[in-house]
Chains A and B, each alone.
Chain A
Amino acid sequence: MTGSLYPKLQQLIEGGTTVAMATITMVKGSVPREVGAKMLIHPAGLHVGTVGGGCGEADVIRAALDVIKDGDPRTVRVDLTEDISMDSLGVCGGIMDVFIERCGSADVG
């Protein structure tokens, strides 16, 4: 299923857009998506796919925008273990590691 994101990625790169690709590489406990789930983060906000939505995804998008700028691939840990309360509706109870890499013309390898 994650395969369907790659043709889009090729289109973006060939069109000269630099994006970041986020991949869930490890999960513990209950999280909204599985290992291998992917998302493309677009500098203008035209993201493709999802790593689970909510606050966790917002953290991933913030980190991904940094990766687009500096080009350093990195792993971000998303912690969804806060107490379940009315203030934090997006809490699933688990943690996940998300690997983020830059893809595109500014990619120097």
Chain B
Amino acid sequence: MDLSLLKELNRALRERQSVAVVTLTRGVSAPGMSVGDQCLVDPAVGSALMGPLRLSGAMVGQVLEIIAGRESKPLHIRTKELECDLFVEVHAAPPHLLIVGAGHIAVPLASMAHLCEFQVTVLDDRPQYASQTRFPTADQVRAAPLVTTLQSMRNVGQLDRHTSVVLVTRGHQHDVDCLTELIGDDLAYIGMIGSKRRIRAVWELLESEYNLDRSLFGKVHAPIGLDIGGRTPAEIAVAILAEIIMVQYRGPQAAMSMRG
């Protein structure tokens, strides 16, 4: 790898930008191309930058699709002129976890999510709970009204499809207010705390009072978390984070040992 490309890559990584390194790993020799040639692709710009590897517009399009999927992959190219293998190494911007409600579950959830390399935001309207001392590893702790803060976060692009939202506020009315605000957003994950019975009541309320269509509730993970039998706040946080990671990687719900 060439030093100037490496420096540019390290800069993008420091600034937590998404970027891909594309390497020619095998190919019939085409003029000016050799195995090991590389370039960087920046999805914000939508084109290849730096490095000797030249990609056609169609190839860049395929690379951008792989970046959107957040996972590194080989890419086989076959055109009239050329047959080669590229490797697309994706460095996706870290996933974002927004925890609404800074109570008992939020504390272990924020620190575990930090360990799993999420960027963590905690939001609560009670300053005594939403404090950096209570959430020392969180990237952002906001003590502000819930719904209006969600709106302003949306306006600056912080509610995107790399964002997972966990609704664990102190009262169900607050969860419902936030849920109705977020139901139309294209998020990585949205989950809401509550017992089965409680959640059923919430759906009925949303249908009758808010005139929301029942099909919208399908994407809401509620009751939240994988069924691992957890009881303490920390154990429930494990169940929630496990579910978010499972959705992120579209993984199976069964334990590794129960897979066929």
Contact = CB atoms under 8 A, between A and B. Distances in A.
Interface in B5-35: 6-7, 9-10, 13, 23, 25-26, 35
Interface in B115-157: 117
Contacts of A26: 74
Q: Give the interface size bracket for B toward A.
A: 20 to 34
Contact of B87 (A7, A23, A74): A23
B89 A23 contact: yes
Contacts of A10: 3, 6-7, 10
Interface string A65-109: 000000011110000000000000000000000010101000101
B52 A103 contact: no
Nearest to B1: A103
B136 to A, nearest CB: 22
A109 B35 contact: no
A3 interface: yes
A6 B3 CA distance: 11
Contacts, number: 56
Contacts of B1: 9, 21, 101, 103, 107
A35 interface: yes
Interface residues of A, number: 24
Interface of A: 1-3, 6-7, 9-10, 13-14, 21, 23, 25-26, 35-36, 72-75, 99, 101, 103, 107, 109
Interface of B: 1-3, 6-7, 9-10, 13, 23, 25-26, 35-36, 52, 71-74, 87, 89-91, 117
Nearest 9 interchain pairs by C-beta: A36-B72, A73-B36, A25-B87, A103-B1, A3-B13, A99-B25, A101-B36, A3-B91, A73-B35
